């Protein structure tokens, strides 16, 4: 765990006020929720309990404990090599989107199954639907293009008894994002997406090599992807910028079926091209 305890606390304070993860991890509580975590917890250089965040398995088991302790998810697992996302940041997206929806609801966050959200690229982990359903009782449709990711997400939903609230759909077209996922007459309060970061496999591997070194890996034989990630999760042709621009263009055809289209943008240099695309779509109306 990098940084002093004080610095870590300050970074946690950057999270949304309703985010359950603003405080440092309480490992005794997490171990009580998921005893499997015991094997990965030890004292760090600051004499605090922690895990080795360079260890992919430790990170996955930590996620299992967090989901069980904070969100009531009794059974969660993902296939080897698939993206294992940091849960605090994923929860932040949900809470900020809730604030966005509150702006159209007299300042009150709307709750309940009638609030329907489409998660583009839900992945094998199904994190956004799990958190959003627990926090606000929203219903979700998760979409993905990867067969194994779809199977994994469906299994997580089923074994936790959430099939009435969360459904998973397979996107069969590599060219479409919303088409085929939003049915005729179907309405969504919002869509959300954590798009692929990179424009090629080479770029993805270079990025993850930097992450590996930043996390302190010195042995080239150690796992490169501490958070995992398959091709469709990490990269697509044109990368994040083109993916978001495709969403903007395609979303125009579903403007009457969705109140808000949202996405994460990881690289600030992509914001200007994205804003330019948005302005262009407005001018075309």
Each residue's pLDDT tens digit, 262-281: 999 988 998 998 999 899 88
Let me know the angle formed at the C-alpha of 87 by 119 and 64, rounded to the nearest 5 degrees: 105
Q: Is residue 242 part of a domain?
A: yes
How far is the first Cα of the chain from the last one, in angstroms, to the nearest whole number? 50
Q: Is residue 149 part of a domain?
A: yes
Q: Is residue 59 part of a domain?
A: no
Q: Can you give the residue range of the structural domain that contains 85?
A: 77-284
How far, in Å, CA of 211 to CA of 225, rounded? 8
| Domains: count for the chain | 1
> pLDDT-derived band of residue 239, with 50, 70 and 90 as boundaries?
confident
Query: Per-residue pLDDT for 223 more than 90?
Result: no
How far, in Å, CA of 132 to CA of 125, rounded? 14
Q: Is residue 152 part of a domain?
A: yes
Q: Is residue 193 part of a domain?
A: yes
Lookup: tokens for 30: 């997490």
Q: What is the pLDDT of residue 167?
A: 98
Lookup: tokens for 106: 């007299």
Q: Is 130 in contact with 103 (CB distance < 8 Å)?
A: no
Q: Is residue 31 part of a domain?
A: no
Q: Is residue 33 part of a domain?
A: no
CATH number of domain containing 128: 3.40.50.150
> pLDDT-derived band of residue 16, with 50, 70 and 90 as boundaries?
very high
Query: Per-residue pLDDT for 222 more than 60?
Result: no
> Which whole number is the average pLDDT over 160-183?
96
Q: Is residue 244 part of a domain?
A: yes
Ranges of beta strands (E only) in 60-187 are 116-120, 139-144, 166-170
Of residues 102 and 203, more confidently modeled: 102
């Amino acid at each position: 765990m990098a940084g002093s305890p004080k610095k870590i606390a300050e970074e946690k304070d950057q999270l949304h006020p309703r985010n359950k993860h603003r405080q440092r991890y309480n490992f005794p509580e997490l171990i009580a929720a998921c005893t499997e975590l015991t094997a990965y917890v030890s004292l760090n250089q600051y004499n605090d309990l922690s895990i080795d965040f360079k260890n992919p398995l430790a990170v996955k088991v930590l996620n299992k404990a967090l989901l069980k302790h904070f969100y009531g998810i009794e059974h969660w697992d993902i296939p080897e090599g698939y993206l294992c996302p940091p849960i605090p940041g994923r929860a932040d997206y949900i809470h900020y989107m809730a604030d966005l929806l509150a702006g159209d609801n007299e300042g009150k966050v709307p709750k309940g199954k009638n609030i329907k959200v489409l998660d583009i690229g839900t992945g094998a982990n199904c994190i956004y639907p799990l958190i959003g359903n627990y926090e606000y009782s929203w219903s979700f449709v998760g979409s993905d293009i990867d067969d194994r990711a779809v199977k994994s997400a469906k299994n997580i939903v089923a074994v936790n008894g959430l099939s009435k609230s969360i459904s998973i759909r397979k996107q069969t077209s590599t060219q479409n994002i919303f088409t085929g996922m939003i049915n005729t007459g179907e309405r969504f309060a919002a869509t959300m997406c954590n798009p692929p970061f990179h424009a090629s496999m080479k770029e993805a591997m270079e990025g993850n090599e930097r992450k590996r070194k930043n996390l302190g890996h010195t042995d080239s034989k150690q796992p490169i992807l501490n958070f995992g990630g398959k091709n469709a999760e990490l990269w697509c042709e044109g990368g994040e910028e083109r993916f978001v621009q495709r969403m903007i263009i395609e979303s125009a055809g579903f403007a009457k079926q969705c109140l808000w289209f949202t996405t994460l943008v990881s690289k600030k240099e992509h914001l200007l091209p994205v804003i330019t695309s948005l302005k262009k779509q407005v001018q075309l109306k």
